[in-house]
Structures are given as C-alpha cells and as structure tokens.
C-alpha cells in the first residue's frame, strides 16, 4: 500500500512545540519542499536535532531565520549568522554536540539503548552536567540517547512502500534518524513503483517510513 500523501497533509502533522530530527549535511539531504511548507505554515517553538543549521536561506537554517526554533541540538552553526545572532541574544538555545557523538546518540535512540560511553568532550563545556564513568582506570562521558517526535528526511530515490536510497553526503544522519523517531516523513526526489529497487541497495527499509512526499 502506498504511503504517499500530499505535502499539506505531511506538514499538518507537525505541531507547535514538536521535537524534530532533520537529516543530511548542510542543505544536502534535507527535504526542501517540506521545509518550505513549514516556513509558510509558521509552526513555532520547534526543537530541531540536526548535524548543522545550514544557511539562513537553505535547509534547517530557514526555520531558524524565520524564528520558528526555540532549541537546536547540533554540531555546527558556523555557516548560519541567524543562528549565531539568536544564540548571542538569548533568543535560541543551542546544545552543541560533537558530530560523532551526535550521530551515536541518535543511533542509540533508534536502537533502544540507555546511552554509551565516550572520551570525547572530557574537560570541555561538552562535559558540563554529565556523568563521568571510570572503566579500567579511564574516564568516559555517559552520553544519553536522542529521540524525537518526527523525522524529516530527504531521499534521492524511493518506492511506494518507503524503501529509500540516499545519494552522496545526503546519507549523513538520514538512515539513523529514520530509526529514532515516532513518525518518519520522507521527501523523495525520484519515486518508483514498489519492486523497482533492489533490496541490497536500500539504505532505509520501508518499515521505518510512515509517509512519503514526492518531490
């Protein structure tokens, strides 16, 4: 059965105050039509979990620039002056997470784990308020998993059952985030009939995808 829905129906599922994961790297791998529609809908008080806040006019950065985001959990904001300005003015909360740690926290959320241990961030602001665990004489930070209400992911190719293929660096975070939320909406650039994608080429199996928006 096809999971294809109209863009407006997909956006209607995102409410004020939602916690959203958005995959990809910079604007690559983010779902542009869904982001555009979210900006127009002016959904507010969002918490966004993403690798970066892209640019003011591209990707997740458009939501930040439009002041729709109250908190972002990310590894990089350097390419988006709007994020920096709102952070400095106390209008936006930013939780900085090292990139590898961010990916693993999302993976842990999708795998149902209680957390993981890493030495990354010891002795820095990343360690503030976190539990330090000693194993065999070495110290590690206990990093807890991340989950969200909704994942918005962008795929290069997909079928009507939601089996997805990503291209290039659009693979960054998308496969992980598709496992770590209660609802997954995928924007697919090239939609094909079910059975046209070889199973060994699938990056995200359709079992993880709830709805599809065709680009």
Exposed (0-12), middle (13-18) or buried (19+): which is 78, by Cβ within 10 Å?
Answer: exposed
Note the pLDDT tens digit of each residue in 118-154.
Answer: 999 999 988 999 999 999 999 999 999 999 999 999 9
Whole-number average pLDDT of the chain: 94
Q: Which residues pair with 25 in a beta bridge?
A: 28
Residue 7 is predicted with a pLDDT of: 95
Residue 2 is predicted with a pLDDT of: 77
- The domains found in the chain, sorted by start residue, are 7-214 (3.40.1080.10)
Q: Which residues of the chain have pLDDT under 50?
A: none
For the chain, the residue count is 215
Note the pLDDT tens digit of each residue in 10-19.
Answer: 999 999 999 9
Q: What is the pTM of this model?
A: 0.93
Note whether 22 and 30 are within 8 A (CB).
Answer: yes
């Amino acid at each position: 059965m096809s999971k294809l829905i109209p863009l407006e129906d997909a956006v209607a599922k995102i409410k004020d105050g939602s916690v959203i994961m958005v995959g990809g790297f910079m604007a690559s791998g983010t779902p542009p039509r869904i982001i555009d529609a979210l900006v127009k809908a002016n959904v507010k008080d969002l918490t966004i979990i993403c690798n970066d806040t892209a640019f003011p006019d591209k990707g997740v950065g458009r939501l930040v620039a439009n002041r729709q985001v109250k908190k972002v959990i990310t590894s990089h904001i350097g390419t988006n002056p709007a994020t920096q300005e709102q952070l400095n003015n106390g209008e936006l909360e930013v939780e900085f997470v090292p990139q590898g740690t961010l990916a693993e926290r999302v993976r842990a959320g999708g795998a149902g784990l209680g957390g993981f241990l890493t030495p990354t961030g010891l002795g820095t602001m990343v360690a503030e308020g976190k539990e330090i665990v000693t194993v065999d004489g070495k110290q590690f930070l206990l990093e807890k998993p991340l989950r969200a209400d909704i994942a918005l992911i962008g795929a290069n190719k997909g079928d009507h059952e939601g089996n997805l293929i990503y291209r290039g660096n659009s693979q960054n975070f998308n496969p992980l985030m598709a496992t770590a939320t209660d609802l997954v909406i995928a924007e697919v650039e090239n939609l094909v009939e079910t059975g046209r994608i070889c199973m060994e080429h699938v990056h995200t199996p359709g079992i993880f995808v709830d709805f599809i928006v065709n680009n």
